[in-house]
Protein backbone atom coordinates (compact mmCIF):
# COMPACT_ATOMS: atom_id res chain seq x y z
CA UNK A 1 0.00 0.00 0.00
CA UNK A 2 1.41 3.32 -1.03
CA UNK A 3 0.98 6.38 1.14
CA UNK A 4 1.89 9.26 -1.08
CA UNK A 5 3.37 8.79 -4.51
CA UNK A 6 3.19 10.67 -7.74
CA UNK A 7 3.36 8.37 -10.74
CA UNK A 8 3.79 10.24 -13.99
CA UNK A 9 4.22 7.28 -16.28
CA UNK A 10 4.39 3.59 -15.62
CA UNK A 11 4.49 1.03 -18.38
CA UNK A 12 3.80 -2.66 -18.18
CA UNK A 13 1.00 -4.67 -16.65
CA UNK A 14 -0.24 -3.67 -13.24
CA UNK A 15 -2.61 -5.95 -11.35
CA UNK A 16 -3.58 -3.76 -8.44
CA UNK A 17 -3.14 -0.24 -7.23
CA UNK A 18 -3.79 0.34 -3.55
CA UNK A 19 -3.23 3.55 -1.68
CA UNK A 20 -4.40 5.21 1.49
CA UNK A 21 -4.12 8.45 -0.44
CA UNK A 22 -5.97 9.76 -3.44
CA UNK A 23 -5.77 8.66 -7.05
CA UNK A 24 -6.02 11.37 -9.68
CA UNK A 25 -6.26 10.41 -13.32
CA UNK A 26 -5.75 13.58 -15.30
CA UNK A 27 -7.27 14.54 -18.63
CA UNK A 28 -4.97 12.49 -20.81
CA UNK A 29 -4.23 9.92 -18.15
CA UNK A 30 -5.15 6.29 -18.46
CA UNK A 31 -5.27 3.77 -15.66
CA UNK A 32 -5.81 0.15 -16.68
CA UNK A 33 -5.59 -2.20 -13.74
CA UNK A 34 -7.55 -5.08 -12.23
CA UNK A 35 -8.15 -3.74 -8.73
CA UNK A 36 -8.10 -0.18 -7.46
CA UNK A 37 -8.31 0.70 -3.78
CA UNK A 38 -8.01 4.38 -2.89
CA UNK A 39 -8.98 5.35 0.62
CA UNK A 40 -8.52 9.04 -0.07
CA UNK A 41 -10.82 8.98 -3.05
CA UNK A 42 -10.56 9.00 -6.83
CA UNK A 43 -10.68 11.90 -9.26
CA UNK A 44 -11.02 10.66 -12.82
CA UNK A 45 -10.80 13.11 -15.70
CA UNK A 46 -9.24 10.59 -18.08
CA UNK A 47 -9.68 6.85 -18.49
CA UNK A 48 -10.11 4.20 -15.83
CA UNK A 49 -10.55 0.61 -16.89
CA UNK A 50 -10.68 -1.84 -14.01
CA UNK A 51 -12.56 -4.82 -12.65
CA UNK A 52 -13.08 -3.68 -9.08
CA UNK A 53 -12.77 -0.18 -7.70
CA UNK A 54 -13.07 0.68 -4.02
CA UNK A 55 -12.91 4.21 -2.74
CA UNK A 56 -12.96 5.52 0.82
CA UNK A 57 -14.40 8.89 -0.11
CA UNK A 58 -16.37 10.42 -2.94
CA UNK A 59 -15.39 9.48 -6.47
CA UNK A 60 -15.39 12.25 -9.06
CA UNK A 61 -16.07 11.32 -12.67
CA UNK A 62 -15.24 14.34 -14.81
CA UNK A 63 -17.06 15.48 -17.94
CA UNK A 64 -14.58 13.84 -20.29
CA UNK A 65 -13.84 10.73 -18.30
CA UNK A 66 -14.26 7.21 -19.55
CA UNK A 67 -14.94 4.79 -16.76
CA UNK A 68 -15.30 1.03 -16.53
CA UNK A 69 -15.30 -1.10 -13.38
CA UNK A 70 -17.47 -2.19 -10.47
CA UNK A 71 -17.47 0.75 -8.11
CA UNK A 72 -18.00 0.79 -4.36
CA UNK A 73 -17.83 4.24 -2.81
CA UNK A 74 -19.66 6.32 -0.20
CA UNK A 75 -20.47 8.89 -2.85
CA UNK A 76 -20.13 9.62 -6.54
CA UNK A 77 -20.16 12.93 -8.36
CA UNK A 78 -20.70 12.37 -12.03
CA UNK A 79 -20.49 15.30 -14.40
CA UNK A 80 -22.47 15.59 -17.60
CA UNK A 81 -20.51 14.04 -20.44
CA UNK A 82 -18.85 11.28 -18.42
CA UNK A 83 -19.01 7.92 -20.13
CA UNK A 84 -19.53 4.76 -18.13
CA UNK A 85 -19.24 1.33 -19.70
CA UNK A 86 -21.59 -1.21 -18.07
CA UNK A 87 -20.42 -1.32 -14.48
CA UNK A 88 -22.01 -2.17 -11.18
CA UNK A 89 -22.28 0.77 -8.81
CA UNK A 90 -22.76 0.45 -5.06
CA UNK A 91 -23.24 3.86 -3.51
CA UNK A 92 -25.03 3.44 -0.16
CA UNK A 93 -27.63 5.82 1.22
CA UNK A 94 -26.02 6.05 4.61
CA UNK A 95 -22.34 5.16 4.28
CA UNK A 96 -21.55 5.87 7.93
CA UNK A 97 -24.60 4.04 9.29
CA UNK A 98 -25.70 7.12 11.19
CA UNK A 99 -29.38 6.23 11.04
CA UNK A 100 -28.77 3.31 13.43
CA UNK A 101 -26.94 5.51 15.92
CA UNK A 102 -28.83 6.36 19.13
CA UNK A 103 -29.78 10.01 19.54
CA UNK A 104 -27.73 12.18 21.90
CA UNK A 105 -28.74 11.48 25.48
CA UNK A 106 -30.67 8.36 24.52
CA UNK A 107 -29.58 5.23 26.40
CA UNK A 108 -29.68 1.75 24.86
Partner 1 sequence: MAETGDTTVVGADSHFKGELSFERTAKINGKFDGKITGKGELQVSQNAVCKADVDATGVQVDGLIEGNLNAKDTVKLNGSGVVRGDITAAKMVMTEGASFHGMCAVGPDSGRPASAAPAQSGGQAGGSPGGSPGGSSGGSSGQSPKK
The contact set with partner 1 (CB under 8 A) reads 32-34, 49-51, 58, 61, 68-70, 75-93
Task: Compare residues 2 and 95 and give the one whose CB is closer to partner 1.
Answer: 95
Q: Are 39 and 58 in contact (CB under 8 A)?
A: no
Q: How far is the CB of 63 from partner 1 (least distance, A)?
A: 10
Q: How far is the CB of 105 from partner 1 (least distance, A)?
A: 27
What single-letter DSSP state applies at residue 28? T
Task: Compare residues 86 and 106 and give the one whose CB is closer to partner 1.
Answer: 86
The C-alpha atoms of residue 26 and residue 39 are separated, in whole angstroms, by 18
The C-alpha atoms of residue 46 and residue 12 are separated, in whole angstroms, by 19
Amino acid sequence: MVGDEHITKLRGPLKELKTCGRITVSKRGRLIVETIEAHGGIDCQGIIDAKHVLSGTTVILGPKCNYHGDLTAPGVVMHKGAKVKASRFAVPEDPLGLTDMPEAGESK
